Structure 1
Amino acid sequence: MAFLSDPTFWVAVAFVIFVGAMAKPAGKLITGSLDTRSDKIRADLEEAENLREEAQDLLATYQRKQRDAIQEAEAMIVQAQTEAERLIQQGRERLEAVLERREKLAMDRIAQAEVQAIDTVRAKTVDIALNATRGFLADQLKDKQAEALIDAAIKDLPGNLH
């Protein structure tokens, strides 16, 4: 029992009692701190899960919007192609109408030129025939007879031309 008089023994016993007495409040303090930290970690995990779900929802929303935008763009392309084809067809129809009008106008001008050429040839022919007849009759007939024949021929000429 010599160890009872040893101060080291009593320091060790006091230390064990002190540690034993402090272990319960320190354990509660440490446990409370760990519980608080655990609750914070749990809250952070829940918040992270909520943020992940929100991100998933946003991703789905933007993917849906992207699909809608692509569909709308495709519809716009189809509409633009249809409109372009319609405008091309309309341009062709207008061009054909203009070409038909110009062809008709050219044909009318050609017909008018033909009529005018025929009239000019007839007039020249009549002039030549009259001049030749006058010259021939002047040489062959006497003055009075020639004038009477020329006047009769001139009267009959309009009926003979048509």
Structure 2
Amino acid sequence: MDATFWATVGLVIFLALMVYVKVPSMVGKSLDNRADKIRDELEQARRLREEAQQLLAEYQRKRKEAEREAGEIIESAKHEADMLVREAKQKTEEYVARRTALAEQKIGQAERDAVNEVRSNAVDIAVAAARQLLADKVDATVAEKLFKSSVQDVKSRLN
């Protein structure tokens, strides 16, 4: 018997022993467990990827919404600034118009006051001149007659 025979016999005994101890089923079970573990990890990785894609989509949606809101806020601020400018311009124009009207009223009043003062001075000068003329031309008897007639005229008008 040569060495190959004994090597073959040893191999067969070894294989029989392995089958008896149930090594192939343990190896199969170990491989099945390993395959299940890899399958679970792949499933978990797939779920995490889907969650990440959902989060990415949600954040992109939120970013677009924030950009839209920022645009609306900017547009609203521009509109409000335009309204404030128009309002300020209108108020300034109204203020200038009121101040102009007030100045014109003051100028008109000053003109009336000046005309009245000139008239008053003219009347005072005319009265003084008439007094001087009457004093030069009228004597005491004529003055007495004028006084009496003036008194009579005042009495008749008062009654």
Query: How would you bin the TM-score normalised by the shorter chain?
Result: 0.7 to 0.9
Give the aligned residue type for 1:79: S
Equivalent residue number for residue 115 of structure 1: 112
TM-score by length of 1: 0.75
Greater RCO (Cα-Cα under 8 Å, separation 6 or more): 1
Aligned-pair Cα RMSD in Å: 2.9
Deviation at 1:23, TM superposition (A): 2.9
Query: Gaps (5+ residues) in structure 2?
Result: 151-159
Kindly provide the CA deviation profile for residues 55-111 of structure 1, in whole angstroms up to 9, marking residues without a partner as x: 111101110111011011101110111011112211211221122122111111111
When structure 1 is superposed on structure 2, of 52-61 and 17-26 the one drifting more is 17-26
Equivalent residue number for residue 62 of structure 1: 59
When structure 1 is superposed on structure 2, of 105-114 and 126-135 the one drifting more is 126-135
TM-score by length of 2: 0.76
Give the aligned residue type for 1:69: A
Equivalent residue number for residue 97 of structure 2: 100
Kindly provide the CA deviation profile for residues 93-152 of structure 1, in whole angstroms up to 9, marking residues without a partner as x: 12211221221111111111110110011101111122123224423443455785xx99
The total of aligned residue pairs comes to: 146
Query: Gaps (5+ residues) in structure 1?
Result: 153-162
Identity, % of aligned positions:
42
**Is 1:20 matched with 2:10?**
no
Equivalent residue number for residue 160 of structure 1: none
Task: Classify the secondary structure of the residue corresponding to 1:108.
Answer: helix
Cα distance in 2 between the residues matched to 1:120 and 1:53? 99
